[in-house]
Amino acid sequence: MSAVLPAPRTLRFRPRDGLTWFGLGCAGLFCLLAVLGPLITRAPNATSTDMLAAPSLAHPFGTDQLGRDLLARTAAGTQVSLMVSLAAVALGLLFALPLGIIAGYHGGRLLDDLIMRVLEIIQALPMFVLAMFVIGLSGTATAHLGPITITMTTKVVLLLGVAFVPYFARVARAATLAETGQEYVSALRVVGVPRVRILFGELLPNVAPAMVVQAFLAMALAIFAEGGLGFLGLGIQLPQATLGNLTGGGTGYLPAGIWWYSVLPGAVMLAGILGFNLLGDALSDSLSGRSTLKEMR
């Protein structure tokens, strides 16, 4: 039996052009600030008498209206953004992968149609609009369902995770449809290999590389969505710092020339979005055997 099974598809990520290295650097700095920033900076909520101070050696990102160090608050916000994005992508993959693989394996049949119609209903509203709608109805306060406490962070993760399910499931279904046309799948069916083994023992490893690519692209979307909700005041609330509420909170001071409050946290958020998006594009090119540089030419 092993003779008819192809080697699982793999990603070979080898940065070869400046754009990919730039994306790798942006994503690396974003993750480094999220992981190490809160450990080496001041307490994000500690106040001082240096209110709205410009960037300096003492405060590299300046301070806010309460004298809080903006580098420390940006680091804390980056950590929140990274954790929310990772959790939302993981939640979306957890539900989407089995749904997409099952739908693709039964391509064109009743079960496939049923799964995809339900996912299309969820996908009818864009992710950001859906999140705004639900948070607008439920409010930004902590909710309680009996003994379960649902914080605003949990709400954002759940909303983004649910919004990602149709996105991931469609990719998993397309990749599975391509695999089910291969001879090894027909051979496995003929010899009576259990369906669960075919789905998750043979198809899943070959679908996984495409999902890794989409996960990186979804990370960029999640950082943008979480930041956008915070910017509008519909995301995680103060005093918890996020990149979105820091950027939004500083816009009122721009006319007075206090640019650092809004621009520097916004630049960190932009670096995360660009970094993960460029990495996703590079991984996609690697999976398809293309070079990003050749595509640009």
Whole-number pLDDT of residue 3: 43
d(CA 259, CA 271): 18
pLDDT at 201 over 90: no
User: Are residues 104 and 112 in contact, defined by beta-carbon separation less than 8 angstroms?
Assistant: yes
d(CA 179, CA 185): 8
Of 19-28, 72-81, 192-201, minimum mean pLDDT range = 192-201
Whole-number pLDDT of residue 293: 35
Using CA atoms, how far residue 157 sits from 5, 137, 149, 151, 241, in Å, is 38, 17, 14, 10, 16
User: Are residues 64 and 134 in contact, defined by beta-carbon separation less than 8 angstroms?
Assistant: no
Using CA atoms, how far residue 226 sits from 71, 82, 202, 219, 270, in Å, is 19, 10, 35, 10, 12
d(CA 45, CA 56): 19
Paired sense of beta strands 148-150 and 143-145, if any: antiparallel
Nearest 10 degrees: Cα torsion 73, 78, 79, 81: 120
User: Per-residue confidence at 4, pLDDT binned at 50, 70, 90?
Assistant: low
As a whole number, mean pLDDT of residues 172-180 equals 88
Count other Cβ atoms within 10 Å, centred on residue 239. Answer: 10
> b/e for 34-64, b at 16 or more Cβ within 10 A?
beebbeebbebeeeeebebbeeeeebebbbb
As a whole number, mean pLDDT of residues 37-60 equals 89
d(CA 159, CA 49): 39
Phi-psi category of residue 63: left, alpha or beta, with phi > 0 → left and psi -120 to 50 → alpha: beta
